[in-house]
């Protein structure tokens, strides 16, 4: 009996079609824009740290060459 009920529920749900109204679409667009802007702000705030990581690696290589 339980398996029959679950089978009917799954069969009923498989006939459903997704519906996105304009409000849902605007929320999805807002989420996308907020994620992109947040990533841009994070990148801008930590850009100097990212540059220092690459500069530090170059300085270590030049320091080893000058000492020898």
For residue 36, pLDDT beyond 90: yes
Q: How far apart are CA 19 and CA 12, in angstroms?
A: 16
Helical axes 22-45 vs 47-67, angle rounded to 10°: 30
Q: What percent of the chain has pLDDT over 90?
A: 26
Each residue of 58-67: pLDDT tens digit?
A: 655 555 555 5
Question: Among 40-44, 46-50, 52-56, whose mean pLDDT is lowest?
Answer: 52-56
The residue among 40, 63, 62, 59 whose CA lies nearest residue 51 is 59
């Amino acid at each position: 009996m339980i398996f029959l009920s679950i089978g009917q529920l799954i069969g009923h749900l498989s006939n459903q079609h997704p519906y996105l109204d304009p409000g849902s679409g605007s929320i999805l667009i807002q989420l996308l824009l907020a994620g992109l802007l947040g990533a841009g702000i994070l990148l801008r705030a930590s850009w100097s740290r990212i540059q220092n990581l690459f500069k530090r690696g170059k300085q270590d290589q030049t320091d080893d060459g000058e000492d020898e």
